[in-house]
Structure 1
Amino acid sequence: MIALVRYLAADVLRGQRYLAPLLVFLGVMGMLFSSDAGQPLEAYSGSSALLYPIAAWMAVVVATSEDVVRREITVVNAGGRPRVLTAAALVAVLFAMAMAVLAAVWPVVTNPHPYTAGEFFVGLAAHTGCALLGVGVGLLFARPVLDSIGRTVLAVFTVVVLTYPLGRITPLGWVLDALGHNRVSLSLLGTAAAGVALVAAAVVAGVRRA
């Protein structure tokens, strides 16, 4: 499995399509924290909200990095589609987690307000949950669940856009509400658990669809 994850990660890096979501993420993060972003937990709410769609975008990039023919070759060599889809999910999670760590560290360095260790870890947990939710959404509508990249983009965009106005009905809303009101909540763990469940559901849906 480790070799398969390394192969898929290398393939994503070689294709360079990851640069688009990464550059958007870095650019918006730079704007968010170019000046005083407010109190630590409140500042983290903006970057957490940003990471959700970026992680979904990155997951779609990972899921579609190989064309159909190459993916079938990978499936045969790897010993089955479940292994390949699981490895792809792990790669997407690794990319998302790297951005989550960066998002948690960024304001600690740039924000004039001092961050305690507790606030940093709360922010890291919030970003982790949002990243996992994004990966789950991206994989749930990417190949092989939906074969058309157009339908994938439309479905992911629709779900992401509709998530924000629903507020505390969604796991994303739990995190943003807690951070926006500058409080720590067990909902952060609930969001991470929901994200893991969504990623697992996406892998299962991909296996069944294929």
Structure 2
Amino acid sequence: MISLVRYLAADVFRGQRFLAPLLVFLGVMGMLFSSDAGQPLEAYAGSSALLYPVAAWMAVVVATSEDVVRRGITVVSAGGWSRVLTAAALVAVAIALAMALLAAVWPVVTNPHPYTFGEFLIGLAAHTACALLGVGVGLMFARPVFDAIGRTVLAVFAVVVLTYPLGRVTPLGWVLDALGHNSFSLSVLWAAVVGAALVSGAVVVGVRRA
């Protein structure tokens, strides 16, 4: 599994399609924290809301890094779709968690308001939850669930866009509501659990659809 994860990660970075979501993430983060972003947890709300769609985008990039023929060869060589999809999920989660850590550290360095270690941990938990939710959404509609990239993009875009107006009905809403009120809530941790379950569910759905 480790060699498969390394292979898929190398393929993603070699293809350089990851640069688009990464640059969008870095650019918007730079704008969000170019001046006073507000109180510590309130400031984290903006970057958490940003990380959710970027993580979904990055997951689609990871899941579609190989064309159909190459992915078929990889599946045969790896011993089945379950191993390939699990490895792809691990790569997508690793990248998303790296962005979550960066998003949690960024305002600590740039925001004029001082951060306590507890506030940093809350922010890291919130970003982790949003990252996992995004990866789960991205993988749920990627290959082999949808073979056409156009259908994948439309499905992921629709889910992401519809998530925001639903507010506290969704796990993302739980996180943003807690951060917006500058407080900690166990709902942040529950959102992370839901995100992890969504990633696992996406792998299961993909295996069944393969």
TM band (smaller chain): over 0.9
* 1:77 partner letter: S
TM-score, normalised with respect to structure 1: 0.99
* 1:181 partner letter: H
1:72 Cα offset (Å) = 1.0
1:76 Cα offset (Å) = 1.3
1:109 equivalent to 2:109? Answer yes
Partner of 1:131: 131
Alignment partners' CA distance in 1, 2:138 and 2:189: 21
TM-score, normalised with respect to structure 2: 0.99
1:172 Cα offset (Å) = 0.1
* 1:43 partner letter: A
1:203 Cα offset (Å) = 0.3
SS of residue in 2 equivalent to 1:125: helix
1:71 equivalent to 2:71? Answer yes
* 1:168 partner letter: R
Structure 2 residue runs of 5 or longer lacking an equivalent are none
Partner of 2:175: 175
* 1:46 partner letter: G
Partner of 1:60: 60
Q: Deviations over 1:13-66 (max 9, x none)?
A: 000000000000000000000000000000000000000000000000000000
Structure 1 residue runs of 5 or longer lacking an equivalent are none
Alignment partners' CA distance in 2, 1:159 and 1:91: 22
Give the paired residue count: 210
1:81 Cα offset (Å) = 1.1
* 2:208 partner letter: R
Alignment partners' CA distance in 2, 1:62 and 1:35: 33
Partner of 2:17: 17
1:74 Cα offset (Å) = 0.8
Q: Which runs of 4+ in 1 moved over 6 A?
A: none
Q: Percent identity?
A: 84
Partner of 1:146: 146
Alignment partners' CA distance in 2, 1:91 and 1:163: 24
SS of residue in 2 equivalent to 1:86: helix
Partner of 1:97: 97
